[in-house]
Amino acid sequence: MIIAMKADARPEDIQGVLDKITEQGMQALNLPGGDRTVIGVASSIPPDLREPLTELMLSMPGVDHVAQVSRTYKLASREFHAADTIVDVKGIRIGGSEIIVMAGPCAVESREQLLLAAEAVKQAGGRILRGGAFKPRTSPYSFQGLGPEGLQLLKEVGLETGLATITEVIDQHDVELTMEHADILQIGARNMQNYPLLVAVGKTRHPVLLKRGPSATIDEWLLSAEYILSQGNPNVILCERGVHPLDRAYTRNTLDLSAIPVVEEVSHLPVIVDPSHATGDWRYVGAIAKAAIAAGADGLLVEVHNDPQHALSDGPQSLRPDSFHELMQQIRRVAGAVDRTV
Q: Which chain residues interact with ligand PEP by CB under 6 A? A: 106, 132, 136, 188-190, 211, 241, 274, 277
Residue 148 binds: one of ligand PEP, Mn ion, none (C-beta under 5 to 8 A by kind): none
Residue 31 near Mn ion by CB under 5 A: no
Q: Count Cβ atoms below 10 Å from residue 92 Cβ, excluding itself.
A: 19
Q: Which stretch binds Mn ion (CB under 5 A): 98-106, 109-117, 163-171, 172-180?
A: 98-106
| Residue 168 binding Mn ion, by CB under 5 A | no
User: Looking at beta carbons only, is 6 or 320 nearer to ligand PEP?
Assistant: 320
Q: How far is the CB of 270 from Mn ion (least distance, A)?
A: 21
Closest residue to ligand PEP, Cβ-based?
188
Q: Could you tell which of ligand PEP, Mn ion, none binds residue 95, using a CB distance below 5 to 8 A set by kind?
A: none
| In the complex, least distance from residue 241 CB atom to ligand PEP, rounded to whole angstroms | 4
CA distance 336 to 332: 6
Q: Is 314 in the site for Mn ion (CB under 5 A)?
A: yes
The smaller minimum CB distance to Mn ion, of residues 40 and 145, is found at 145
The residue number whose beta carbon is nearest to Mn ion equals 106
* Options 38, 57, 106, 114; binder of Mn ion; rule CB under 5 A: 106
Least CB distance to ligand PEP at residue 40 (A): 30
Closer to ligand PEP at the Cβ: 17 or 225? Answer: 225
**Choice between 109 and 314, CB closer to Mn ion:** 314
- List residues near Mn ion by CB under 5 A: 106, 314
